[in-house]
């Protein structure tokens, strides 16, 4: 084994990133995806189950629907992340929300010529 091979695994830029947990999700993305899937799936399937008079199969269906939503979301996220720099889609989401007035991106969004604000030329 070459000494350089063991050093490649411990590069500082790799240590500072969140590890990929499942289907392209990082740890925080996976937690958010599971919570969002549960918020969507369980009320919908519980209402459907109650409409048929069977609440317990509705909850079981909610579990299966939440699992399917997490898997499909992971596949979509893999495709979005492929070939892009780190935090690319988070930045795009912040910019889209800022464009519609739903948040502040923290980035300068200005099209056109920018000046430094000087009105006269100093002669030295």
Q: What is the DSSP string of 58-98?
A: HHHHHHHHHHHHHHHHHHHHHHHHTT--TTHHHHHHHHHHH
Residue 118: predicted pLDDT: 66
Cα separation, 33 vs 2, in Å, equals: 40
Tell me if 112 is assigned to some domain: no
Residue 66 lies in a domain: yes
Q: Is residue 66 within 8 Å of residue 34, measured between CB atoms?
A: yes
Question: Measuring CA to CA, how many Å separate 115 from each of 97, 112, 119?
Answer: 27, 10, 10
Name the residue range of residue 89's domain.
14-99
Specify whether the CB–CB gap between 25 and 37 falls below 8 A.
no
Binned at pLDDT 50, 70 and 90, residue 37 comes out as very high
Domain membership of residue 117 (yes or no) is no
What pLDDT band is residue 80 in, cutting at 50, 70 and 90?
confident
**124 part of a folded domain:** no
Bigger pLDDT: 103 vs 100 = 100
Task: Say whether pLDDT at 95 is over 90.
Answer: no
**pLDDT of 3 higher than 60:** no
Task: Give the chain's domain count.
Answer: 1
Give the model's confidence band at 100: pLDDT under 50 very low, under 70 low, under 90 confident, else very high: confident
User: What confidence category does residue 70 fall into, taking pLDDT thresholds of 50, 70 and 90?
Assistant: very high
Distance CA 49, CA 113 (A): 59
Phi, psi for residue 76 in degrees, rounded to 5? -65, -40
**Inside any domain, residue 93:** yes
Residue 88 within any structural domain of the chain:
yes
Is 1 among the domain residues?
Answer: no
pLDDT of residue 10: 60
Does any domain span residue 51? yes
Under 8 Å between Cβ of 39 and 6: no
Whole-model pTM above 0.75? no
């Amino acid at each position: 084994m070459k000494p350089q091979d063991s050093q490649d695994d411990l590069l500082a830029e790799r240590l500072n990133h969140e590890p990929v947990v499942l289907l392209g999700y990082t740890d925080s993305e996976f937690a958010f995806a599971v919570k969002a899937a549960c918020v969507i799936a369980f009320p919908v399937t519980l209402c459907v189950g109650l409409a048929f008079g069977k609440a317990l199969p509705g909850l079981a269906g909610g579990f299966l629907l939440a699992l399917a939503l997490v898997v499909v979301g992971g596949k979509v996220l893999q495709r979005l992340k492929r070939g892009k720099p780190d935090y690319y889609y988070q930045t795009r989401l912040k910019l889209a929300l800022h464009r519609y007035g739903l948040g502040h991106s923290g980035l300068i969004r200005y099209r056109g010529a920018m000046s430094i604000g000087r009105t006269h030329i100093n002669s030295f």
